[in-house]
Amino acid sequence: MKHIRNILNSRSKSDGNFFVFIHGILGFKPKSLKYYKTAFTHRSMNIKDNKGNTINYERLEFLGDAMLGAVIASHLYTEVPSGDEGYLTKMRSKIVSREHLNELGKELDLISCVESKIPKGQFGDNIHGNLFEALVGAIFLDRGYKYCEKFIYKTVIIPYVDIETLEGKVISYKSLLIEWCQKEKKTFDYNVYEDTGNDEVRHFSVKLSIDGKVISKARATSKKKAEEKASKRAFFVFQKQISKDF
């Protein structure tokens, strides 16, 4: 604690609060805050370095995605020696799905530290997963692979990776439903249209028809989310039939 207090006394109050926040999430001391500050900088800030390069979390997001994939792939390779390439790829996709990463980012309340000119209430759900990936990228640059691996095990693998549970988890209800319709020679149609209503954020509605009959409806802030939501509802309508085929 004495060491941490000395660091905080040498920094501005803002840096000190940020250091405490990052240290609490990581479980170990960051060496350089600059990587983590970049990980929480949105492109709307329009910040550039002295060479004219844009500074925001998007490049770190790319790096973090690669690190997550590598650590989780290594874990699955070791834990499931009988799994072939296709199986391992599918399992990794379930672990690093956008939905799961968004949940992780929300749990850590990463959005509370974002520097942005856009009101936080206007961000979509993906901001949470993007920040989580950027944080992983920042850890790799700051402390290297071992600390990055340690963080991924603590936040992702140990609490959430259960092989048997993952094997039964559906990644995309839309993909599953389309595959089933094609196998059963059923026609399907996603009728998507903009439906803003009185909402500040743009919304889309979708009607999912199978064999000419509307099976489900849904509404969300993007076409993709609306289609996935409608597909999930339709899946439960046909769950018994689908389960027989898959």
Q: Could you identify the residue written with the tokens 């009607």?
A: 207
H-only helix segments in the chain: 2-9, 13-26, 33-39, 58-79, 85-95, 98-107, 126-143, 145-152, 158-160, 163-167, 173-183, 223-237, 239-245
Instruction: Provide the CB-side half-sphere exposure for 116 (13 A, CA).
Output: 18
Residue of 65, 149, 227, 228 marked catalytic: 65
The first and second tokens of residue 46, run together, are 């329009």
133 tagged catalytic: yes
Residue among 125, 133, 149, 227 flagged as catalytic: 133
Residues 6+ apart with CB under 8 A from 79: 163
Q: Which residues are catalytic?
A: 65, 133
